Each structure stands twice: as C-alpha cells, then as structure tokens.
Amino acid sequence: MHQPIHAPRGVTDPAATGRGNGSRPSPAGPAAPVGGSGQGPGRGSVPPWARPGPPSIPSSARPVREPTVTGPTGARVHLAARGAPPGRPHRPGDLPPTHRTLVGVALPGLVISTEHAQLNGLGLEGFYRAGRRLLSRCRLRVAGREPLPSSARTAGADRTCFVATLRTSSAPGPDPDVVIERTRHADGTERITLRSCASAPLRLPVEVALGTDLADLGAIAAGGAGPELPATVHDSGLRWSSAGGSVSVTATPPPAEALASAGLLRWEFVLPPGGSAGVELRVRADGAGPVRAVGRTAADPLASAYATGDDPVVPALLRTGVQDLRALLLRDPAHPADIHTAAGIPWRCGPVPAEALAAARMALPLGTRLAAGTLRVLARTQRLGPGPGAGMIPGPVRDAGPHLPPGCTGTEATLLFPVLLAEARRWGLGTPETQELLPVAERCLTWLRTTVGNGTYVPDPQPHGPIRCETQAHAHRAALLGAELLDDFDRPGGDWLRQWAQRLRTAFRRDFWIDDPAGGRPAAALTPDGGVVPHLGAAAAHLLDTGLLGGGTVAPGLLDPARTGRLARLLGSPAMDSGWGLRSLAATEAGYTPFGHRAGAVHVRDTAIAVAGLAAAGHDKEAGALLRGVLDAAGAFAHRLPDMYAGEQRADAGAPLPHPAACRPAATAAAAGVLLLTTLAGIRPDTPAGTVTLRPVRSAPLGQLALTGLRVAGKPFSVRVGRLGLAMVEEAADGLQLGV
C-alpha cells in the first residue's frame, strides 16, 4: 500500500526553459527511467513538490508562470515582459476579461467587441490581423448622440451584429425614430445601416470617430499598448503609420468631411419615412490583401455535417462547432496546403501541438484532411539527431493544478502523433499519405521506447518529477495503436510495443491503484520515493480513452473492468460532475476552487473524453449525465463553448459561470461537440478493411438523433439513432460494409 502524499507545486519545470522536453538524464544514461527495474517507482530524495504539506504554498515560493499570447504565426509573446503603462503596475497572470466580449474570427482576421457595439480602445476591443490591432476605436454618433444599445449577438463564427435605437424628435412618446444596425466582420469590414421609423423625413448627420495604436495583442493583454497614433486623410478615409507599418480605413460612400486631427469621418443623410441609408467601413493594413479565411475557400478540410434530433441543442451545437473550427483554421506559412487549427481566441491564436492534434482527432468524423495537415505541420517540428529528446514534438508546459508541477505538453503531443495517424487511417486517410507520415510516427515510438528503457513507466521530463497517470494512458494507447500501424506496413517494432503495454498494464494496476473502503481510485501520480499523489481529477478520464483498433474494436485500457466501473462511478459522482461537466479537480479535494484552471474548472475537452470513454465501456448512466450537463452549458453559451468555465455546482435556475480568461472559440471545445454527438452513434470505421461498426449508446440519452454529411473513407456518411438506441446507416461509400 503506497503512502499518500498531498503534493503542491514548488519547482519550475525545466521544459519551460527549453531543457526538459526529452527524458531526464541520469548516471545510467540519458534515457534511464524513473522506475529502474520496472518494479515500481524509483526511490530517492523527495522533490519539493512531493513533500507532505498543505495543498497550497505562498505565492512568493511558487515559480512565476508568465502568461503568453500565441500569434497566428506561432510566435509566443511573454506578457509580463511587455511591462505596464505608467501608474498601472502589472501583475503577471492578469489578463483583460474576455467572457463578456463578442468575438468574430476568420484567421488571420479577428474582431473583438463589447455588447454596446462602440469600440472605445479599451481592453482588447478592436479589429486585428495576424496578431496586430489595426483599429482600436470606432465610435458612432447620429444626430450628435450615441445610439442606445438594444441587442448584440454573434451571427456565425466570423461576425457580430448589433442593433441600437435613437430618438431625434421632440414629439411625445417613447418610440425611437431611427434603428441603427451594425454588422462587424472579422475580415475588417463594418456595415452601418440607418432605418427610419419616423412619419416625416429625417435629416441625420452621422459621424464616426476612428483611432488606432497598431499594438500587438501581447502588449495589449499586458496593459502595455501605446497611445493612439496621429491620423492623416487618405483616399476616402483616414490612415495611420508607425515603424511597424501602416493601416487605413476607407468608407463607402466617401465621407462629406474627413478631419485627421480628430480622427472623424462625417456624412449627412436624408431618410424618407421608412427609408434607409448605410455606410461601409473597410480596415486594411497597407500592402495586405483582403482576409481570405481558409474555411471559406476550396481548401476547407472540414465536411459540412448537420445534425437533427429530439433535442433542440443538437443541431446548433454541431453547426456552431463546425463553424468555429473553420474560423480557427490556419495555413502553414511555408507550406500553404497544410492546414491546422489555432488553439483558441484571443490568447492562443497560433498552434499548440497537443491541442491541435487533439482537435484534429476529435474532428475525424468531418474527414481526414485536417488530421493530415496537422500531422504534416507538426512533423516538421520533430526533433532529429542524437540525444534524449530525439523524436519528440516540442510543446509548452501546462499548469497541472495545486498538487503537481506543470507538465510538458510535448510528451503528450509526441504520444498523440502516432495515435492520430493510426485512427485517421481507420477513418479513411489514404495509404500514400499514411506512408509519408509513418517515419515520423516511428520516431515518436522510438522516443517512447528509448525513454522507457529497461523500466516500465514513462518518466516526467522534469528531474525528480512525478510519474503522471495520464502520461501512462497516452503512452499505452500510443503503443497499441502504433504497434498495429507498424504491423500494417510491415515495419518492425510492434511486438516490443505490445509486450511493453502488457507490462505497463500489470504494473499500473498494482502501483497506481489506491485501495480504500469505498472501492479505491487511481492515483494522479507516483513520487520518486514510492509514494502516491492521491487526488482525483479530470486527468483520470484519459484512462478511459483507449483508442480505436482495426475491426471496429477499442484497445484494452490500463484498468480492468472492475476498476473501470469504479472510476466511472467516481467521475459520475457529485464531487466530479458539476452538473455542467467534469471538474478538473474533485470538489472534495484540498485546493479545489471552481475557477481554478486545473483546480476545479470544467474543461470541455476532458468532459467529452470522459463521455466517449464511459460510453465505450458501457457506463451509459454516467456518460449520459455528463453529456446532458455539457449540452445544457452549451445552450447557456449560445452553443459556442469556451475551453473552460467554472465548476460551480449546478443550481435549478442557474447557468454555468464563465471563466474570465477562457478562450472562446477554442479548437478543442469546438471539436468536442463533434465527438460528443458522434459518440452517441458509436461510429467505429476500419476503412482499410472496408467496414464500419456501430456501437450506439443504448440508453439514447438525447432521444432520436440523425447525423448527415460526415465523412468515412472520404465519402459522405449519414447515420440515424432511434429512441431505443438502435443505429442505422443511411448513406455510406460504395463497398463499405457494416461490421459486426
């Protein structure tokens, strides 16, 4: 029986400095594992993060985790390094709130607004392109007054619409004389339409005050944006210049007057009763053409899937998820044919390898082109040559909550690469594309073998770091799916991977399971001295994500059926199920806080993984409850789920609380909607074998459901699930047979 240890954070992960993405060095060689002989965790001095103590430590003792903003090109800007304006001391970690903003995305274009429609140059407001704010201020006045806001909404992933009213007459009564509609698009355009509600002609002077600082998103987020730049009159609008470039705003129709000193454009319209007039503003960086979002071109890699069913949330969730994924698509600058997703808006507008792979994997029912592009993009980042990091796909560190030090997402990405390639082949990725990427997957699997060495577990890149539960789950899945992939192409190494996976299962069930009177639970991690970190969190859901093998079968998991059932009950308990989704840390654990990034907040990706894993293991009750919760949360967020929200317990008349630093839209949250709905149909294709197997959730928690326009074997695929939990294929590629 291992001695539990509550382990707070305490030391900085060397991966944060670029030294810890490979296996940690030791006197026995660069790849010596923590486990040594494979008979359990190694013994030695206890690292600071694993020493017994309270669940949190003073902030002065914690490593400073400087927040970063990732631009569309992948450049990471350390916010704290940007400084703060005079009189406003900057505190690392403080970010402008985003949960009440309206975001339009068509990368590299982006527009961020507040509900009142006016852009005042405050916070993150403005039009952006490739991470630079092109316009920060756009204030409309009609007849000398600001319109009264009436409504604000998103109208698709790339645009927002606002309605306001205005009284211009002195006639008695509350009725407005003018309705003002504004449509703001991420491609840099804004259309302003004035509609008369008056019974007599209206003479309306209109003016728009414009301004910009041409600041980078990272500087804005750090509170370090500079003052507005002086304007000059240019063409039919205004122009601003700085050392970094120039931007102009042009208007149609041209303004009657342009005042550079005040940044004003002016018109005067005469509206007959019931008449209308309008202005279109176009924001462009000099030398840049119009924004052409990948999702609106022939290069769009995603199928236009649709859903119908008894639950009214279902169609909107899939439609919005596909729209958001399209809005987040990026081209590799050096290889424009290769497309992948940005992680999320506004903080991570560039690629994050582990999340790009995870989003592409969850989106496989929409086709394999996104997976292929993502794999090719990340293949170019793989570390080559000798050394313990050879074969790794680098990735940033990620907070792991109050009980563990930050983890290296490069390990997750390296283990996820062969998994995505293997599953993409099952869904229909062609043999030539698979063979092109196979050497990269082989190097990932060679890294796994080298890192394990003569031991059993995959160690942490951090010296004296923990042996993490979810890392072993990622590695076990990579080994089994990777072995099958190697076998299919007559490549060596599959036997070793399967044998090691068997040893890992045996050791994991012995070392990672904590027995208690309630039935036990998996440990979050093992410490170098042989203890366990016992807290329960959403990372345990990855134990249920075993991966898809040939013949429509799922791979075996690290847990046996009895322990899987116990984990299902834990994930479905009130401590983990908030009623809106799966908490990242159980509410009964020390250090829990509902807004904690990894200490209690709900992550949509983790919830979707839990739902899919529970359904595959036959635990329909727990899967259905988590599914229902996250779908209800989607309704509260207008079906555009953020990547996380607070883990407060659901109340009868409540709604999930937004997290002020969440990304929305986010690639993994958008793709999670696809996974949640396709899980209900239990679609398990094996394109090389010419079969597709259906394993629907028998309880049919959402009633009748139909999914059309999916892709299997590169062709349209449609399936219907009835209220009794029976599934029927309605459209499929010629020659595709229904598996047993």
Residue-wise pLDDT tens digits, 564-590: 999 999 999 999 999 999 999 999 999
Confidence of residue 77 (pLDDT cuts 50, 70, 90): very low
DSSP string, 76-96: EEEGGGG---TT----TT---
- The DSSP-derived string for 335-377 is EEEEEEE--BTTTB-S--HHHHHHHHHHTGGG-SHHHHHHHHH
The per-residue pLDDT for range 111-163, each reduced to its tens digit, is 999 999 999 988 899 999 989 999 999 999 999 999 999 999 988 899 999 99
The pLDDT-based confidence of 49 (bands split at 50, 70, 90) is: low
Q: What is the model's pLDDT at position 57?
A: 29
**Does the pLDDT value for residue 714 go beyond 80?**
yes
Q: Mind listing the pLDDT tens digit for each residue in 469-514?
A: 999 999 999 999 999 999 999 999 999 999 999 999 999 999 999 9
- What are 700's two structure tokens? 């049919």
pLDDT of residue 652: 81
- Write 726-731 long-range contacts (CB < 8 A, 24+): 726/696, 727/681, 727/682, 727/694, 727/696, 729/692, 729/694, 730/706
The residue that leads in pLDDT, 190 or 15, is: 190
Confidence tier at 665 by pLDDT (50, 70, 90): very high
Grade residue 32 by pLDDT with cuts at 50, 70 and 90: very low
Q: What is the mean pLDDT of the segment spanning 650-655?
A: 86
* pLDDT for 28: 31
Residue with tokens 């940005």: 342
Average pLDDT over residues 533-546: 97
**Greatest mean pLDDT range, 292-301, 439-448, 455-464:** 439-448
Confidence at residue 61, expressed as pLDDT on a 0 to 100 scale: 28
- DSSP label of 688: G
Q: What is the pLDDT of residues 303-348, one digit of tens each?
A: 999 999 999 999 999 999 999 999 999 999 899 999 999 999 988 8
pLDDT tens readout for residues 362-379: 999 999 999 999 999 999
Q: What pLDDT score does 481 carry?
A: 98
Does 73 have pLDDT greater than 70? Answer: no
pLDDT of residue 69: 56
pLDDT at residue 695 tops 80: yes
DSSP-based three-state secondary structure for 622: helix
Q: Structure tokens of 186?
A: 């991420």
pLDDT score for 46: 53
Q: Which has the closest alpha carbon to 265: 211, 204, 208?
A: 208
What is the reported pLDDT for 656?
A: 95
- Report the alpha-carbon distance of residue 280 to residue 160 in Å, rounded: 15
Edge to edge, the sheet with strand 525-526 lists: 467-468, 525-526, 532-533
Residue 33 reports pLDDT greater than 60: no
